[in-house]
Amino acid sequence: MEMRDFPFTVTEWAAEPAFEHKGESGTSWWRTVEATGFRIRIVEYSAGYRSDHWCPKGHVLLVLEGAFGIKLKSGETYMLRPGMSFLASDDAANPHLGFSETGARAFIVD
């Protein structure tokens, strides 16, 4: 990964607007900053959240609060607690789906 062609940036996440994204169930709120080729987000997931699609996009996700689950199309499921992360590459053959039974807050780079 090469990170180039954007200026040094400090982000005050609380000052960034939150945009609602509904899941198959529940809702997520995204605070997003974009830099050349990157999307950086703080995402808050409601209790009962489940993604409305299988995602083939690569991510680095770090759980800040709550519990967040990742299900792979192969059937494997991983539960992440605060301080845990996952890394997934762009891979249309092996998509993943996110969910949270209790709600969660995560830092995501993709």
pLDDT tens-digit map of 66-88:
999 999 999 999 999 999 999 99
- Residues 6+ positions from 82 with CB-CB distance below 8 Å: 63, 64, 65, 66
Domain residues of the chain, as ranges?
Answer: 18-109
More confident residue, 48 or 36: 48
Architecture of 18-109 per CATH? Sandwich (2.60)
pTM of the full structure: 0.92
Residue 15 DSSP one-character state: G
Confidence of residue 3 (pLDDT cuts 50, 70, 90): confident
**Residue 38 token pair:** 């990157």
